[in-house]
Amino acid sequence: MDKSRTTPVRFDVAKDGLYSSSIHFCDHLSSRHRTRRAARDPHCSALDITVNHPRFPSTLHFIPLLASKQQQQQPWRRWRSPLHLPEMEASAPSLLFLLLFASSLSRPSSALSADAGAASTARRHLLALIENGILPDDFEFDIEIGVRIANPRLRRAYIALQAWRSAIYSDPFNYTGNWQGPDVCTYNGVFCSPAPDEPSLNVVAGVDLNGADIAGHLPPELGLLTDVALFHINSNRFCGTIPKSFSRLAILREFDASNNRFVGPFPRVVLGLPSLTYLDLRFNDFEGALPPELFDKELDAIFLNDNRFSSRIPDNLGNSKASVVVVANNKLGGCIPASVGNMGATLNELILLNNGLVGCLPPEMGNLGNATVVDASLNSLTGELSESFQGLSKVEQLDLSHNVLMGVLPGRLCQLPSLASLTVSYNFFTGEAEECVPSSTKSELVVDDRSNCLAKRPRQKSNRL
């Protein structure tokens, strides 16, 4: 064998005491690491990743597609060439992830689990990535662990939580510091209770990591937490997407992933959760259209504000039985669907502010007889207020400011029995009924009518506008 072809090109990714990792670009594969296709070509390039860790050292072999004849003669050029070859397109994303993964394993960190279960999980993740190019969400959860847990449901929870711990790279308050050992019911933020279908078994019924400032991602093994009814992780720094394996969480009722760094389109996996009633995705970086199926689900609360959702509010908004719908501070356009009037029996709060909505306020909004808060401010809504708004008999706060509304403020609107705050500033109203003039309204009602076109009222728009 030509020894010049077996000498690897080595690049140290990280070194720190006992921890190190390196990348080897080899131009020759031993027979036990050849794929069926590579076995026919002894010059098929390969990438080895060696992780030297005191607890779980490993070497992983990455076999890309066959190189061209020219590339076979220049194995290093294969990985750094800017040419858009199919094999490079398939290999480059995985290569980048492998470099980052090997580097992260090389650093001594509290995020690295000290038990064999997490080690097995980490190796399995990387192997799955190498084999398929992506980390699959539905692989078989047959990970071997080094501890004995008689309760099979707690065993699955242990695997899930250890995988999650391995996916955490920053835990400034050491919140997951006690996530060690087989007794998952003692882990911080993990709550156990008797299983509803088998009271003799204790199961993980809830996870609450709110406000822990943890950074990491959600691994697919979390789909093993099939007994969880509550999953709260708000105010952290979790990133990436919601795993498709969450579809296994059949009894999950509350999902709060707000105030994190999740990205991508609306996580459609939540639409298939049959027991979900509370959905909170606010303050993330989700984008794209809102799926109409969202408003066909039996949800009680929908919080989607402060993302980057675009397109229109689906026409079937009124199918929702939710008591709270908040879609503020997105990039939604179009009109408010007339179907909103169908939500009168259940809706308490409707927050649509700062979305670039256009068109008229639909008269059907007057059917929201149980709503206490309605906010459609900071949009581009036009037209006049319909007399039907007198049907908002329980509304306490009504904010229509910063739009292009015009006409006259109807007196019956200002006489609503529960109304405490009416904000119509920064519009183009040219008149208001006597009942709406702040000096003559009931003492408990606060009316903000500044920056309109109201004669004899202070702080109005210039006559030149």
Residues 6+ apart with CB under 8 A from 312: 289, 332, 333, 334, 335
- pLDDT score at 435: 87
Q: Which helix (H) or strand (E) holds 287?
A: strand 285-288
Helix axes 152-166, 116-132, angle to 10 degrees: 70
Rounded Cα gap, residues 435 and 214, in angstroms = 52
In this structure, is the dihedral angle defined by the CA atoms of residues 153, 154, 155 and 158, taken in order, positive or negative? positive
The bridge status of strand 190-195 relative to strand 358-360 is unpaired
Going along the chain from its start, the domains and CATH numbers come out as: 3-106 (no CATH), 109-269 (3.80.10.10), 289-465 (3.80.10.10)
Rounded Cα gap, residues 377 and 220, in angstroms = 40
- pLDDT score at 463: 58
The DSSP symbol for 220 reads G
Whole-structure pTM value:
0.71
Instruction: Tell me the per-residue pLDDT of 317-353, one tens digit each, with 9 for 90 and over.
Output: 999 999 999 999 999 999 999 999 999 999 999 999 9
The bridge status of strand 46-52 relative to strand 19-26 is antiparallel
Q: 393 near 370, Cβ under 8 Å? A: no
Rounded Cα gap, residues 317 and 333, in angstroms = 14
How are strands ordered across the β-sheet holding 380-383?
Answer: 358-360, 380-383, 404-409, 428-432
Residue with tokens 């990535």: 129
Instruction: Tell me the per-residue pLDDT of 216-231, one tens digit each, with 9 for 90 and over.
Output: 999 999 999 999 999 9
- Give the chain's residues under pLDDT 50: 1-119, 122-123, 125-142
Q: 177 near 215, Cβ under 8 Å? A: no
The token pair that represents 381 in the structure block: 């809504």
Q: Among candidates 188, 295, 299, which has minimal Cα distance to 233?
A: 188
Q: What is the 3-state secondary structure (H, E, C) of 18-34?
A: CEEEEEEEECCCCHHHC
Q: 387 near 412, Cβ under 8 Å? A: yes
The DSSP symbol for 103 reads H
Q: How far is CA 395 from CA 79, 130, 343, 367, in A?
A: 64, 57, 14, 11
- pLDDT score at 436: 87
Single-letter residue type at 106: S
Residue 292 CA to its chain's centroid (Å): 18
Q: 303 near 326, Cβ under 8 Å? A: yes
Residues 6+ apart with CB under 8 A from 357: 313, 332, 333, 334, 335, 336, 376, 379, 380, 381
Residues 6+ apart with CB under 8 A from 427: 400, 401, 402, 403, 404, 405, 406, 451, 452
- pLDDT score at 69: 36
Residue 14 dihedral angles phi and psi, to the nearest 5°: -160, 150
Residue with tokens 């709110």: 210
